[in-house]
Homo-oligomer: A and B are copies of this chain.
């Protein structure tokens, strides 16, 4: 269980340059003179570090990262030119000093809180402030070879955790005990510690262990299986319920490596599932076989959703597909990357074309109230000619 994994790659300069240039093209389209990046995850994307500071990307030329804390670590990690700086109130002077002028500035308005924004409006008096978050999300939706390598490392952590689950699951064990054990396996293998999800109230756990009826508990989350959680204050994930014989155990786990997250699910059982659940698991497996072998760059996200929903419907499983009753959600996949809620969304609405380099979690799941849930979630890289899996662990029901 003890491995040393300090061997992560720093984000290379050519990677940062390509991302910056791609953003600058979007800035041109929007008539922006400057973009100011403040959020951790976007900072990491455009600098290679999460050290505290503010990144200025001009429409032309090189970005500057004004670093408050910790400068030495920022320069060790980031290929971007770093400048030791005080708080953001000094920004106007810095912009003058470094010749970064203009009229229109882009900010991450989807995550910057209002009280911070009021301060920024004063600091940026004279600038027209516009939202740049949609453009950033669109860029981040297409992964580079470097990013795909990190995502595959995160996938390798998933493989270890599911392999450990196969050996660790015992009848009578609580969901929380199994949850904790599996998180410890991932952490010892170099898991980064937490997964990020963008937006207000978007809280993310590394793992859900949901056995039997636990998987049928509807909650606030926009996910087919929420779980009871250890308390109403969290209201998601594993609980103190004990794992029983012949009930499905759904394990939804997110790897995390060098910033990049993955998100997969397998179904386990001690003993044997009843025929209805076995059949539903088979349908999930068939949906994955169908989509996994036929989807490719160019297909509409809505067409994938419809194919999956149609296969569920044809087997009479429509009311159980992706939740039940008010718990039913209208998507079957979501993009992953530095955050777990990235582009694309594979859902009933919001049709977009898949593009090569996108990465998404695809998760056909079925919920049977009072009894349990079955399903599979698998992460795919979109290639011109098809989908590529990032993990090795088999998709089949694991009977113990």
- A residues with CB within 8 A of B: 1-6, 8, 10, 38-40, 44, 48-52, 69-73, 77, 107, 109-118, 131, 133, 173-174, 176-177, 179-181, 183-188, 190-194, 196, 199-201, 203, 205, 217-220, 229-235, 237-242, 257-260, 326-327, 338
Q: Give the chain B neighbours of A201 by CB distance below 8 A.
A: 38-40, 52
A194 touches B200 (CB 8 A): no
Question: Given A131-B115, A176-B187, A234-B192 in contact, is the A239-B73 Cβ separation under 8 Å?
Answer: no
CA distance A40 to B240 in the complex (A): 23
Q: Give the chain B neighbours of A39 by CB distance below 8 A.
A: 200-201
Query: Closest approach, in angstroms, between the C-beta of A371 and any C-beta of chain B?
Result: 18
Residue among B38, B112, B184, B260 making CB contact with A181, cutoff 8 Å: B184
Which chain B residue lies CB-closest to A208?
Answer: B193
Residue among B4, B48, B69, B180 making CB contact with A174, cutoff 8 Å: B4
Query: Closest approach, in angstroms, between the C-beta of A9 and any C-beta of chain B?
Result: 10
Question: Given A114-B112, A194-B203, A218-B69 in contact, is the A50-B184 Cβ separation under 8 Å?
Answer: no
B200 touches A113 (CB 8 A): yes
B230 touches A192 (CB 8 A): yes
Query: Closest approach, in angstroms, between the C-beta of A206 and any C-beta of chain B?
Result: 8
A232 touches B10 (CB 8 A): yes
CA distance A104 to B333 in the complex (A): 41
